[in-house]
Amino acid sequence: MLQSAVDIDIRKNPSGRLQQVDFDNLTFGEVFSDHMLTIDYRDKTWKRPVIEPYGPLPLSPATKFLHYGQGVFEGLKAFRYAGGKINIFRLDEHYRRMKRSCERMIIPLPDEELFLETIKVLVDLDRDWVPEDKFKSLYIRPFIFGTDESLGMRESQNYKYIVITSPVGNYYKEGIKPVKLTTMPEFVRATPGGAGEAKVPGNYASSLYPGARAFEQGYTQVLWLDAIERRYVEEVGTSNIFFVIEDKLVTPDLSGSILPGITRKSILELAERWSMPVEERKVAIDELFDLHKQGKLTEVFGSGTAAVVSPVGVIHHEGQKIELGQDKMGPIAQKFYDAITGIHHGEIKDEAGWCHLV
C-alpha cells in the first residue's frame, strides 16, 4: 500500500463488493467503490482523516446544507495505464478550482498536501475499482458541505469534506451522437457577480427546469447565453464550448459567469503547444449564424471531464437552426480527444505534468 506522509485512520471494508459489479454495464454515478474518505472540520480545525466503508451518513434534519445549500463539489477521473499504474488526471488543478469555489462560499478546505495525499491513498486502496478498459475510468467526487445543526442564515461553523469514487463506463458506448442544442433566452445559468464560476450545487439545481423544457422541445442540452444581453454564448449544459472558425479555435473568455473547466484549460494548453491559433473572446449567437451562412463555422464541440469532447450537431435559436452536418467528431475535436485520452492512459508522453500516479 501507498506510504503516506498524512496520518489517516483506515478502516477497511470487510465485505468488498467488487465481484458483484458488471463493468460492461455501468450507468454514470450509480455504483460506488468500497471506501470513502471523510475529514470533519470542527472547532476551526481539521480532524484526523478517516477512510471507511462506503455507506450512509447520519445527519440532523437541521443540517445547514440541506436548507441553504452551502456546499461545493469537484469531479475528476483516475485512469489505468497499460502497466497497471493509476493516473489521477490534473489532481492539483482540481484542488485549486475547489479552493476558489470554497472561497466564494466561505467554506474552509483542507490544505493542498492533505487533499492530494488523502485522495491518492483512497484511490490506491480501491485501485482494483479502476477499470482495465481504455474507455472506462474511476470518477472521483470530492465535496464539502456545512453541517451546523442550525437554521440560522449564516455560514456554517462545521463542515464535512467527503470523497467518494465511482467506476464509469465509456461515454461513447452507443457511438458518437452529436448533441442538439437550443438557446433558452428566458433563462440564465449564472449572472455576473453570482456563483457561476464556482462548482456549487445550486447552479445545477436551477438549470434542471430549463434543461427539461429544452428536452421537451427535442434538444439534448441548453446553450446558455449571458444574463445581461442574452446574446453571448457561455456554456453548453454542464460543459464549456469551443468553435472552429476558419481554422481558428475560439472559446468564450472566462467572463466570471463561466465555469473554468479543466478540460477547457487542457485543450487551450495543447492548442498553444501545437501553435494552433486560439481566441478567447465573446462569441455572439448572431455571429455564429452569420459565420455558418458564410461556411466559416466548421466545428462546434463541448468539453468536460465526462466525455472529454462532445460534438454539436444542431444549434437552435429563436426559430432558426444551424445544422453542422456532423455525424461524428470533427477533425479538430478528434485531435484533442485523441491527445487527451492518450495522456490519460499513458500512451502519449505527459509533457506538462498533468498525471498524478499511484
Ligand X SMILES: *Cc1c(COP(=O)(O)O)cnc(C)c1O
Q: How many CB atoms lie within 10 A of CB 128?
A: 12
CA distance linking residue 169 with residue 135, whole number of Å: 7
Q: How far is the CB of 1 from ligand X (least distance, A)?
A: 29
Burial environment of residue 118 by CB neighbours within 10 A (0 to 12, 13 to 18, 19 or more): buried
If one asks whether residue 87 binds ligand X (CB under 6 A), the answer comes out as: no
Q: Which of these ranges, 116-124, 125-133, 255-263, 273-281, lies near ligand X under the rule CB under 6 A?
A: 255-263
Q: How far is the CB of 14 from ligand X (least distance, A)?
A: 34
43, 255, 312, 314 from 241: Cα distances, Å:
42, 13, 9, 14
Q: Which positions ≥6 away from 13 have C-beta within 8 Å?
A: 34, 35, 52, 53, 54
Whether the Cβ atoms of residue 152 and residue 24 lie closer than 8 Å to each other: no
Encoded amino acid at 51, one letter: I
If one asks whether residue 163 binds ligand X (CB under 6 A), the answer comes out as: no
If one asks whether residue 80 binds ligand X (CB under 6 A), the answer comes out as: no
Give the binding-site size for ligand X (rule: CB under 6 A): 14
Whether the Cβ atoms of residue 267 and residue 336 lie closer than 8 Å to each other: yes
- Of the candidates 178, 304, 330, 346, which one interacts with ligand X according to CB under 6 A? 304
If one asks whether residue 262 binds ligand X (CB under 6 A), the answer comes out as: yes
If one asks whether residue 257 binds ligand X (CB under 6 A), the answer comes out as: no
- Of the candidates 240, 251, 257, 326, which one interacts with ligand X according to CB under 6 A? 240
Q: How far is the CB of 86 from ligand X (least distance, A)?
A: 19
If one asks whether residue 166 binds ligand X (CB under 6 A), the answer comes out as: no
Cα torsion at 202, 203, 206, 211 (round to 10°)?
A: -140
Q: Which of these ranges, 103-111, 141-149, 225-233, 303-311, lies near ligand X under the rule CB under 6 A?
A: 303-311
Extract long-range pairs of 267-273: CB within 8 Å, 24+ residues apart: 267/242, 267/303, 267/309, 267/336, 267/340, 269/352, 270/336, 270/339, 270/340, 273/351, 273/352
| Pairing assessment for the beta strands 308-317 and 179-183 based on DSSP bridges | parallel
Q: How far is the CB of 190 from ligand X (least distance, A)?
A: 8
Residue for grid cell 432558426: 320
If one asks whether residue 305 binds ligand X (CB under 6 A), the answer comes out as: yes
If one asks whether residue 259 binds ligand X (CB under 6 A), the answer comes out as: yes
If one asks whether residue 235 binds ligand X (CB under 6 A), the answer comes out as: yes
Q: Report the Cα–Cα distance between both ends of the chain, in Å, rounded.
A: 10
Site string for ligand X, 110-149 (x = CB under 6 A): ----------------------------------------
At residue 32, φ and ψ (nearest 5 deg) are: -120, 145
Q: How far is the CB of 18 from ligand X (least distance, A)?
A: 26
Q: Which of these ranges, 31-39, 151-159, 215-223, 234-242, lies near ligand X under the rule CB under 6 A?
A: 234-242
Q: Which of these ranges, 19-27, 158-166, 256-264, 280-288, lies near ligand X under the rule CB under 6 A?
A: 256-264
Nearer to ligand X, 291 or 307 (CB): 307
Closest of 138, 97, 142 to residue 118, by C-alpha: 142
If one asks whether residue 249 binds ligand X (CB under 6 A), the answer comes out as: no
Q: How far is the CB of 45 from ligand X (least distance, A)?
A: 30
User: 89 to 108, contacts with ligand X by CB under 6 A?
Assistant: none
At residue 312, φ and ψ (nearest 5 deg) are: -105, 130
Q: How far is the CB of 35 from ligand X (least distance, A)?
A: 23
If one asks whether residue 307 binds ligand X (CB under 6 A), the answer comes out as: no
Which cell is 263 given? 478540460
If one asks whether residue 199 binds ligand X (CB under 6 A), the answer comes out as: yes
Give the residues lining the site for ligand X (CB under 6 A).
75, 199, 235, 238-240, 259, 261-264, 303-305
